[in-house]
Homo-oligomer: A and B are copies of this chain.
Amino acid sequence: MAAARPAAQPRRVAARSRATRADAVATLREAAEPRSAEAGAAPPRRKRLAHEAAILQAAERVFAGAGFGGATMAEIAKAAGLPKPNLHYYFGSKKALYRAVLERTLREWLEPADCIVATAEPREALERYIREKMRLSFARPYASRVWANELLHGAPELRTTLVRTLRPLMRRKVAVIDQWMAEGRMAPVDSSHLFFTIWAATQTYADFEVQICAVLGCASLDRAAQARATQHVVSLILRGCGLA
């Protein structure tokens, strides 16, 4: 199926055979930042990068709004301002595009944890982590929702990524927190579950924004409301960790 094929459109063919593989990481590198570091290839055309970014952004919004099953390639194409076959030319399939969106999100999501290291001051590091997560929730709600949607439905596309990428990282971070507690620098809490609580408390502002706005009686959270929410989460959790 992938072999016998007219010699035209080599890039697209490559993308399709790639998408068939289960190797999520490879798909990530190639689909999200295609050929940026490839052997003797010409430097990526500006237009290509721009189009891919536009598609990715449109896909993120549409997937966030309707889930994988509810989103349609036609809608994504319209949102990106490109004809539908173009999406397939760049990303191969709906699933590959979806995965590209997810992988990009994962990268962004893991970054804030960089500040959690053994040498840091617990209170300062945790506060910074929480604030960064809150900032991300408000700045990129669509990305958060696509991620949440994927988890909600059992993570069919990135179960292996969770185990191979997220779990090792979390083991390290959990060890840092445990060390802080062993040194008596914070109250004893379950460090793994502390992360779950922080993730939940922060991302709820992106994922369940409608519910929050409905309860608060506002159309959306303005700067002041965002600051209030951030302050609430930070102080509640820090106090919960005996870091007030």
Cβ of A215 under 8 Å from chain B? yes
Cβ of A190 under 8 Å from chain B? yes
Of the 9-residue stretches A5-13, A22-30, A32-40, A231-239, which lies at the interface with chain B? Answer: A231-239
Q: B70 and A167: CB pair below 8 A?
A: no
Cβ of A184 under 8 Å from chain B? no
Give A147 Cβ to nearest chain B Cβ, in Å: 9
User: Which of B71, B154, B240 interacts with A210 by CB under 8 Å?
Assistant: B154
Within 8 A of B (CB), among A143-202: 145, 148-149, 151-155, 159, 162-163, 166-167, 170, 187, 189-190, 192-197, 199-201
Chain B residues lying within 8 Å of A214, measured Cβ to Cβ, are: 155, 159, 162-163, 166-167
Cβ of A67 under 8 Å from chain B? yes
| Range, interface on chain A | 35 or more
Q: What 10 new A-B contacts, CB under 8 Å, besides A69-B71, A187-B239, A196-B229?
A: A67-B68, A67-B149, A69-B70, A145-B153, A162-B215, A189-B236, A196-B204, A200-B208, A239-B239, A240-B240
Q: B152 and A148: CB pair below 8 A?
A: yes
Interface string of A205-228 (1 = CB under 8 A from B): 101101110111100000000001
Question: For the complex, what is the distance from the CA of A197 to the CA of B238, rounded to whole Å?
Answer: 13
Cβ of A74 under 8 Å from chain B? no
Question: For the complex, what is the distance from the CA of A212 to the CA of B163, rounded to whole Å?
Answer: 10
Q: A211 and B166: CB pair below 8 A?
A: yes
Cβ of A242 under 8 Å from chain B? yes
Chain B residues lying within 8 Å of A155, measured Cβ to Cβ, are: 210-211, 214
Question: For the complex, what is the distance from the CA of A236 to the CA of B196, rounded to whole Å?
Answer: 12
Cβ of A83 under 8 Å from chain B? no
Cβ of A53 under 8 Å from chain B? no
The winner among A68, A167, A196 for most chain B CB atoms within 10 A is A196
Chain B residues lying within 8 Å of A14, measured Cβ to Cβ, are: none
Chain B residues lying within 8 Å of A241, measured Cβ to Cβ, are: 236
Cβ of A81 under 8 Å from chain B? no
Question: For the complex, what is the distance from the CA of A66 to the CA of B157, rounded to whole Å?
Answer: 13
Chain B residues lying within 8 Å of A166, measured Cβ to Cβ, are: 211, 214-215
Question: For the complex, what is the distance from the CA of A43 to the CA of B205, rounded to whole Å?
Answer: 46
